[in-house]
Amino acid sequence: MSNNLKRTLNLKDAVSIVAGSMIGSGIFIVSSDIARQTNSSILLMLCWIIAGITTLCGALCYGELASTIPDEGGQYIYLKKIFSEKLAFIYGWTLFAVIQTGTLAAVNIAFAKFIGLIFPIISENTVILSIGSYHLSFQRLFAVLTVLLLTYINSRGVKHGIITQHLFTVTKVFSMVAIICIGLFVGFNTDTLISNFSFSNNIIPKGFDLVTVISVALVGSMFASITWNNVTFIASEIKKPVRNIPMALIIGTLAVITLYFFINLIYTGVMPLETIKNAHEDIVAAELVNTIYGKSGMVIIAIIIAISAFGCANGMILTGSRVYYKMAKDRLFFRSLAQVNRKTKVPENSLWLQCFWICILILWGSYSQLLDYVIYSSLIFYVITIWGIFKMRRIYRKKRVAFRVNNVVIAVFLIFAIYIITGLTFYKPLYTVPGLIITLIGIPIYHVRDKIRRRKVRLK
């Protein structure tokens, strides 16, 4: 074992991680819930536009952060070098407890769910073990087995993980392009589009009610875009990180938000808003294909969504483990996580601990709760990190930076992110406050860990 990772990934690999980590199951599902909450095609598209602008601005901001601090650990190390070790630990703790692992649990449950549409035995209703009020379904067991498989693939070496990432990223991007083309050239109906966007068919709240509705509805579109920062976690394994990470963030996020915009435009150009709102199990993409080709569309879309979820999970398993590895190197987490396998050049212990906790969340967590916790906690740390750019510029004022964003870009991200956080705090406290509590638990854990560390230093 050693403690060093090797730079083997190029720009193409980094772009694949950005796009592959972003495109999961969300884009095919969440539009139905957004449509129900807004009751308007205009507001549905507005939510995706706001999410796209916020995502792009955030990615540009992280481009400057990565260009200035191109170190391993990404967002964790930005917080450590700009603010403090304590804040960095609290972020790393939250990432491990809910943000990264919670997202992975939700994505793998979604993967199992859509595989279940093809093979009905993989269902939440197929119970294989009951202990009191707890029931283990075949669906959750399949999700656990998927996490184990992906962790094993990534434990064999970063190239194994990145080859898997390329394969699934390319497949799902082409699948999304195919859905857009089929919708545009086969199912698109101008009358449906005009009807969906006519003011007579759009119930748009006024004043503060409009602000409230959009802030809550944005959760879905933000969840579909929230993981663009994952590429920064693996900075120590990317060649020329000062150039390649900002480029990957820009190319990857631009490509994904463009696809998201057009696929939602196709939804509204093929199906009436009521069909989008009442899609079977919220799978809007399946309703789209069913509208054009009939019931066979469900199997086609199930395969596409399963591919997307699998590729997303692979990218996040690959990157997330690097943060815990870096925390261990800094003596803020279990020291054994800092070990790198000499043969595979990956932090195996970190990968398998991450795997263990994801499996626990899959077996015991609720899919919808996981999503709410993830969005709320993620946005809080995004706001803190991007606000820190102003302080970073003072700290590194003598350093020549290859990439710098305009202050307007920073302001736009902060305004939208704080707006969503505020809306969720006031209007969905039962779903979001627990995520904040999980974050705050990291404070006493840090102090206990720090006291133990200081005691060991004194004994030496």
To the nearest 10°, the Cα dihedral for 168, 171, 174, 178? -120
pLDDT tens, residue by residue, 27-80: 888 899 899 999 899 999 999 999 999 999 999 999 999 999 988 888 999 999
Residues 255-278: what's their mean pLDDT?
Answer: 93
Residues 301-317: what's their mean pLDDT?
Answer: 87
The per-residue pLDDT of the chain, averaged, comes to 87
Residue 4's pLDDT band (cuts 50, 70, 90): low
Residues 295-321: what's their mean pLDDT?
Answer: 84
Residues 113-125: what's their mean pLDDT?
Answer: 85
Q: What pLDDT does residue 1 have?
A: 47
Give the three-state DSSP class for 406: coil
> 369 vs 37, 102, 200, 220, 229, CA distance in Å?
18, 9, 35, 13, 22
pLDDT tens, residue by residue, 134-148: 788 898 999 999 999
Of 401 and 63, the structure prediction assigns the larger pLDDT to 63
The DSSP symbol for 296 reads: T
Annotate 94-118 with b (16+ C-beta within 10 A) or e (fewer): bbbbbbbbbbbbbbbbbbbbbbbbe
Domains and CATH numbers, the chain: 11-459 (1.20.1740.10)
Place of tokens 């009020």: 133
Residue 3's pLDDT band (cuts 50, 70, 90): low
Q: Given a cut of 80, is residue 374 above it in pLDDT? A: no
Residue 244's pLDDT band (cuts 50, 70, 90): very high
Looking at the chain, the whole-number percentage of residues with pLDDT higher than 90 is: 40
User: Mean pLDDT highest for which of 57-61, 105-109, 421-425?
Assistant: 57-61
